[in-house]
């Protein structure tokens, strides 16, 4: 009885072992055949057959739907001659974080397609490849890189044919038009990036700044300085935090004119009306607000103290000078001269009163006569009456001759004094003009005009017109000199601003170059340590500062290739290891039992059922 149970157990174990061995053998056979299974069109290309022509062989298995769709897209692009775009599709698929290379079928299909596309790229015309790269860069929003590819074609030493150069010029024109369209959007993005950075939204700020840099928009020096300053600040924040910020890909789809990104989806931004600015009436034409004199109140005349009476001179009755009538509001032209002459006439009367008080009647009489003769048309009737009464009193005290003779002598003296003042003022105007002081020269010509206006009634109209013509000619020379001085000053300021801008740009470029060189050294150090993913992040920072940096572009391509091949090697090693374990399991299951094998009586029926 125990013998029969042992035999039954042996038969059951043999049956189960046979079933497991059959399943593992089928899996091992499938694993061994996988290197042969690839996409049909890719096999056709590898075999040298016409593109897009299917082979008669039917593959045992197909790639995953995502990979099959991507390879079909690549096949279509290659047929159209868009090899660069086909390569970009494969690169994006292989660099996608969710792309799974664990499937040997997908791995071989993608690898063979990539090998075929790279072979076509090496055989293609380099100028045609540059044109395709420029178009692809424009589609991705990297106008700066597109411009670099185009300029390599249209350069003088370029060996491209005329058709390629004409196409490149058309692309360059379209690129410049697109850049002009994006200029207002770039300026909005600068303001948005600034707001995002200050609010702590560093990823959004980095994305906006990357898009601005990639467009290569023609920004002002201040705007470029602002962009570079915030780029460096973002890199400093990343270094402080110990991790880079993920920036969204800035393509042309999100850089449409008139589209402004809002902070929150669906949020409405309150609109604040601009404050109403008070309107100021315009100044009169030809007038300078800073040069308008303020109306000074006329100095009131004070009555001099009375002198004690003597035996020879009767006591003078104290008289009070009339108050100066306030002048009318100042206006342009002659009104200003009238106001000045009125104030000057009041001053002359006041000086006469001062001399009268001191007992210097001859000088006082001269002042009163000057006021009567020289300022008659500018003084009020009360002021003239007061000056005449004072002059008469001076004559009584001095016991002088007729008033007419005194008036004549006073007029002659006034004219001589005025002409002397005129000559001195004109000479000082010349001196100031030679020294480059136009404002002082204008003041002196105004003083000269005022001097001749005092004695206008004592000189002929022809002489008065001649003197005024001299003043006008001098003013014309002054204005010409002022224009030359202003032009020279503007030129000086422009040169100084240009020099300051050049120095500031040099400082910014040096700072940017320092950051780029530091990142290049850091990326190479990480590459030596085989930390390729971290090195690629550092290279992204280099291209964030300068999207067309040659070292950064070269390092990016090299590191991406190394990362892809490392992943590919790891997958192949894992597949080989798992295959070895599977074959070992199959070999173990194929070991025959040591005991006697006794088949059941109904073994023919079971064999028939198993088929």
DSSP string, 404-440: HHHHHHHHHHHHHHHHHHHHHHHHHHHHHHHTT-HHH
Give the pLDDT confidence of 237-279 residue by residue, as tens digits. 887 887 777 765 444 444 544 433 444 444 444 444 444 443 3
What does the DSSP assignment read for 151-181?
A: HHHHSTT----HHHHHHHHHHHHHHHHHHHH
Question: CA-to-CA distance for 291 and 477, rounded, in angstroms?
Answer: 19
Contact 216, 144 (CB under 8 A): yes
- CB-facing half-sphere around the CA of 491: CA atoms within 13 A: 6
What pLDDT score does 322 carry? 53
Q: What's the whole-model pTM score?
A: 0.43
Note the Cα 432 to chain centre separation in Å.
Answer: 44
On the CB side of 144, CA atoms within 13 Å amount to 18
When pLDDT is averaged across residues 111-115 and rounded to a whole number, the result is 83
Reading the block at residue 520, the tokens are 């290049």
Is residue 434 within 8 A of residue 412, CB to CB? The reply is: no
pLDDT value for 47: 37
Q: Say whether pLDDT at 223 is over 80.
A: yes
Q: Which of 14-23, 36-45, 334-343 has the highest mean pLDDT?
A: 334-343
DSSP track, 271-302:
P-PPPPPPP-PPPPTT--GGGPPPPPPPPPPP
Helices (H), 529-549: 532-545
Strand, helix or coil for residue 359: coil
Q: Would you state the structure tokens that stand for residue 466, as one six-digit string?
A: 């001649």
Q: For 72-86, 120-134, 299-313, which range has the lowest pLDDT when averaged over its residues?
A: 299-313
14 vs 229: CA distance, rounded Å: 77
Phi, psi for residue 95 in degrees, rounded to 5:
-90, -5
- Find out whether 535 and 558 touch, Cβ atoms under 8 Å: no
Q: Is the pLDDT of residue 545 over 50?
A: yes
Dihedral sign for Cα atoms in the order 200, 206, 212, 216: positive
Residue 10 has pLDDT above 70, yes or no: no
Q: At what angle do helices 65-79 and 83-95 cross, to 10 degrees?
A: 160
> For 322-331, what is the mean pLDDT?
46
Specify the range with the lowest mean pLDDT, choosing from 7-21, 36-50, 245-259, 489-503: 36-50
Element holding 250 (H helix, E strand) = none
Asked whether 247 and 210 are in contact (CB, 8 A), the reply is yes
Beta strands in 424-567 (DSSP E): none
Share of the chain above pLDDT 90, in %: 3
Burial class (CB in 10 A: 0-12, 13-18, 19+), 37: middle
Query: Nearest 5 degrees, angle CA 120-CA 126-CA 127?
Result: 130
pLDDT for residue 591 is more than 80: yes
Which range, 19-28, 381-390, 408-417, 467-476, is most confident?
A: 467-476
By mean pLDDT, which of 15-19, 499-503, 534-538, 593-597 is the weakest?
Answer: 15-19
- Length of the chain, in residues: 611
Nearest alpha-carbon partner for 75 in 121, 39, 101: 39
Cα–Cα distance measured from residue 320 to residue 302, given in angstroms and rounded to the nearest whole number: 7
pLDDT score recorded for residue 572: 86
Q: What does the pLDDT look like over 358-416, one tens digit per residue? A: 878 778 888 888 888 777 778 888 888 888 888 888 877 776 555 555 556 667 777 88
H or E element that contains 208: helix 202-215
- Alpha carbons 333 and 611: distance in angstroms, whole number: 125
Dist CA 202 CA 224 (whole Å): 19
d(CA 503, CA 385): 72
Nearest to 450 by CA among 610, 338, 575: 338
d(CA 281, CA 170): 52
Q: Give the Cα separation of 75 and 73 in Å (integer).
A: 5
pLDDT band at 29 (very low <50, low <70, confident <90, very high): very low
CB-based burial of residue 379 (10 Å sphere; 0-12 exposed, 13-18 middle, 19+ buried)? buried
Half-sphere exposure of 551 (CA within 13 A, CB side): 16
**Rounded Cα gap, residues 243 and 517, in angstroms:** 19
Residue 360 in 3-state DSSP?
A: coil
Q: Quick one: pLDDT at residue 469?
A: 92
b (16+ CB within 10 A) / e for 412-431: eebbeebbebbeebbebbee
Contact between 89 and 77 under an 8 Å Cβ cutoff? The reply is: yes
**Whether the predicted pLDDT of 428 surpasses 80:** yes
Per DSSP, the residues of 46-71 read HTTPPTTPPPSPPPSS---HHHHHHH
- Mean pLDDT computed over 439-457: 86
For residue 276, give both structure tokens. 């109403």
What is the mean predicted confidence (pLDDT) over 311-340?
51
How confident is the model at residue 1, as a pLDDT?
A: 42
What's residue 405's pLDDT? 56
Distance CA 248, CA 544 (A): 12
Which bin fits 264, alpha (ψ -120 to 50), beta or left (φ > 0)?
beta
Residue 450 has pLDDT above 70, yes or no: yes
CA atoms within 13 A on the CB side of 533: 6
For the chain, the average pLDDT equals 74
């Amino acid at each position: 009885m125990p013998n029969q149970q042992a035999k039954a157990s042996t038969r059951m174990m043999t049956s189960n072992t046979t079933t497991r061995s059959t399943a593992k053998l089928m899996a091992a056979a499938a694993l061994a055949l996988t290197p042969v299974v690839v996409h049909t069109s890719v096999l056709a290309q590898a075999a040298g057959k016409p593109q897009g022509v299917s082979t008669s062989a039917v593959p045992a298995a197909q790639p995953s739907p995502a990979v099959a769709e991507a390879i079909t897209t690549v096949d279509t692009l290659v047929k159209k001659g868009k090899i660069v775009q086909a390569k970009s599709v494969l690169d994006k698929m292989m660099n996608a974080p969710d792309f799974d290379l664990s499937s040997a079928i997908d791995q071989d299909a993608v690898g063979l397609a990539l090998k075929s596309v790279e072979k076509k790229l090496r055989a293609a015309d380099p100028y045609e490849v540059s044109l395709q790269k420029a178009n692809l860069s424009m589609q991705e929003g990297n106008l700066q890189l597109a411009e670099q590819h185009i300029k390599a074609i249209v350069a003088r030493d370029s060996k491209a044919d005329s058709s390629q150069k004409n196409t490149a010029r058309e692309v360059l024109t379209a690129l410049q038009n697109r850049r002009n369209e994006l200029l207002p959007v770039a300026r909005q993005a600068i303001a948005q990036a600034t707001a995002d950075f200050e609010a702590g939204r560093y990823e959004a700020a980095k994305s906006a700044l990357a898009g601005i840099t990639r467009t290569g928009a023609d920004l002002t020096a201040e705007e470029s300085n602002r962009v570079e300053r915030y780029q460096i600040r973002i890199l400093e924040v990343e270094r402080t935090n110990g991790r880079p910020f993920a920036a969204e890909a800035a393509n042309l789809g999100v850089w449409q004119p008139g589209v402004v990104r809002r902070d929150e989806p669906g949020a409405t931004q309150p609109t604040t009306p601009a404050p109403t600015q008070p309107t100021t009436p315009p100044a009169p034409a030809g007038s300078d607000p800073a040069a308008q004199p303020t109306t000074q109140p006329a100095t009131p005349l004070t009555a001099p103290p009375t002198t004690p009476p003597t035996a020879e001179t009767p006591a003078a009755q104290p008289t009070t000078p009339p108050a100066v009538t306030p002048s009318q509001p100042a206006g342009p032209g002659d009104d200003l001269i009238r106001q000045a002459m009125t104030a000057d006439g009041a001053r002359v009367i006041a000086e006469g009163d001062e001399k009268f008080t001191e007992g210097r009647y001859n000088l006082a009489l001269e002042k009163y006569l000057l006021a009567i003769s020289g300022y008659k048309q500018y003084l009020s009737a009360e002021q003239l009456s007061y000056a005449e009464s004072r002059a008469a009193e001076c004559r009584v005290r001095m016991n002088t001759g007729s008033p007419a003779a005194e008036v004549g002598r006073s007029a002659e003296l006034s004219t001589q004094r005025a002409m002397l003042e005129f000559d001195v003022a004109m000479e000082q105007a010349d001196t100031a003009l030679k020294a480059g002081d136009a404002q002082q020269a204008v003041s002196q010509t105004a003083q000269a005009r005022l001097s001749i206006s005092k004695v206008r009634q004592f000189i002929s109209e022809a002489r008065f017109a001649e003197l005024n013509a001299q003043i006008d000619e001098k003013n014309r020379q002054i204005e010409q000199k002022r224009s030359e001085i202003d032009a020279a000053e503007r030129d000086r300021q422009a040169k100084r601003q240009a020099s300051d801008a050049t120095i500031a740009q040099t400082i910014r470029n040096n700072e940017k170059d320092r950051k780029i060189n530091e990142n290049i050294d850091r990326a190479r150090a990480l590459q030596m340590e085989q930390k390729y993913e971290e090195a690629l992040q550092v290279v992204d920072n280099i291209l964030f500062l300068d999207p067309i940096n040659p070292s950064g572009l070269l390092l990016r391509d090299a590191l991406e290739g190394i990362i892809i091949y490392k992943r590919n090697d790891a997958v192949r090693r894992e597949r080989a290891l798992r295959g070895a374990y599977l074959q070992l399991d199959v070999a173990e299951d194929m070991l025959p039992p040591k005991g006697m094998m006794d088949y059941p009586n109904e073994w023919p029926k079971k064999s028939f059922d198993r088929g």
